[in-house]
Amino acid sequence: MSRLMDPPPKFLPPEWRLANQIHYGNAEAERSRSERLTAESKRLIEESGMAAKRMQQDASKRLEQRIHDIKFWRTELDQKLEEIVQEIEVLISYKSRVERALESCAEPLRVALQCMTERQRRVSIDLVHDDVERELMKEREVIEGVTSLLNRTLEQTNEQIRLNRSAKYYLEKDLRDKFQAEQIDGFCSILTNTSPNIDNVTSQTSLAVPGATVTPEEWETFSNINILKAEREKNNSLSLRALVDSLLEQTAADMRRQHNAMGTALRLQVQETKTAKGQLEDHLVKVLSEVASQECNLEALRVAIEDKAGPLKVAQTRLSARSQRPSIELCRDPVQVRLLSEVQELTAHIKRLREAQAQSEMELLALTRSQLILEEEIQVKSHSLYIDEVICTQLRQPISIHSF
């Protein structure tokens, strides 16, 4: 207990001075370290402030450049979009022209086929493969060829419209994306350190870069590809429109030329048929006149034969009577000779008259047959004229081939 109550040991003066020196040294060291830290902190504050300001200015400058780039590409895309939209509208009008051209081919083809059907109703020798028939077949081939060509052109036009619309879709999508990107970058460019919208953004969110897998070169290439695709489709569309113009003009000219050739052939055939019919009618008149003449001749021959029957009977009766003369009186005197000669001559005349009568009857029969043939042929020609001049001409009259 007495040991516990002993006073603490006392230090020596050198120890006291050493302790003070140590405290002085420690305080000086802490103060120096604090001064250096303060200086370093001040330098770091100035450096970070300048860096933050520099980086923010650089980011703002890059945002402005980015917005400028986006506006440039938007301008290019807008221009190309306007061109492709106009081209689509023009190509749709060309499609309508091709469709109208196809519709206008239907009626001429129907008429050509109906004319061919009607002309199959010709009869006898007039059912001939004439120039009209050949021109009709050629006209059908031309129209069917034009129709097939126009159908293929319509398919090409529809496909080109689809490709143009595809290019338009990608241009519009690219424009929408760039508009949204411009809005975002514009918002970012006006942000300042005092903007209220930055309080809700955490550091983690600001470091996140979703989908940052596209380089600037790829970004430009993407829009350039869309523009080049639209330009390519526009050029293809221009080439197709030039082809359609040429095709419509050529097909209309071919159909018009064949229509005119067919019309000319039909007019010539009608004229030729009329001429043949007129000649047949002239010959019929002559045959009828000859029939009448031959009938008169036949009647004259019949009368002549009857007229010779009396003298012949007289001569024969005289000979028969004189053959009854008695004895020496049955003499071949001049009278007997004359009577014999008369009978022979009259018999010969009657024979020749009968032969002439038979020939006349045969000729009359031949003339009658010729009359029937001529009348039948005139009916055939009249029927053919009705088909060509009335039916076919009236069917073709409303047809007019205009430029498509």
Q: How far apart are CA 330 and CA 305, in angstroms?
A: 32
- Average per-residue pLDDT in the chain? 84
d(CA 393, CA 320): 80
Kindly state the average pLDDT of the residues 132-151: 91
pLDDT at 404 over 70: no
- pLDDT of 5 over the 70 cut: no
Residue 224 Cα distances to 73, 76, 82, 232, 277, angstroms: 9, 9, 16, 12, 78
Q: What is the pLDDT at residue 402?
A: 76
φ/ψ of residue 87, rounded to 5: -65, -40
Per-position DSSP letters for 305-368, written without gaps between them:
HHHHHHHHHHHHHHHHHHTT--GGG----HHHHHHHHHHHHHHHHHHHHHHHHHHHHHHHHHHH
Q: How many other β-carbons are positioned within 10 Å of the β-carbon of residue 113?
A: 14
Question: Residue 12: its pLDDT value, please?
Answer: 84
Are 226 and 77 in contact by the 8 Å Cβ rule? The answer is: yes
| 199/275: higher pLDDT | 275
The mean per-residue pLDDT over the stretch 163-184 comes to 91
Looking at per-residue pLDDT, the higher value among 50 and 345 belongs to: 50
- Count CB-CB contacts under 10 A for residue 201: 10
On whether the CB atoms of residues 231 and 80 are closer than 8 A, the answer is yes
Instruction: Name which residue leads in pLDDT, 398 or 168.
Output: 168
* Gap between the Cα atoms of 246 and 12, Å rounded: 124
Q: Is the pLDDT of residue 212 over 70?
A: no
The rounded distance, in Å, linking the Cα atoms of 363 and 127 is 31
Calculate what percentage of the chain has a pLDDT beyond 90: 22
Nearest to 172 by CA among 245, 82, 255, 240: 82
With 0-12 / 13-18 / 19 or more C-beta atoms within 10 angstroms meaning exposed / middle / buried, residue 284 is: middle
Neighbours of 71 (CB within 10 A): 12
Does the pLDDT value for residue 3 go beyond 60? no
- pLDDT of 164 > 90? The answer is yes
Q: 99-138, pLDDT tens digit by residue?
A: 999 988 888 899 999 988 888 888 888 788 888 889 899 9
* Helix H or strand E encompassing 18: helix 13-119
Q: What are the pLDDT digits (tens) for 264-300?
A: 898 898 898 889 889 988 988 988 888 888 888 888 8
How far apart CA 56 and CA 331 sit, in angstroms, is: 175
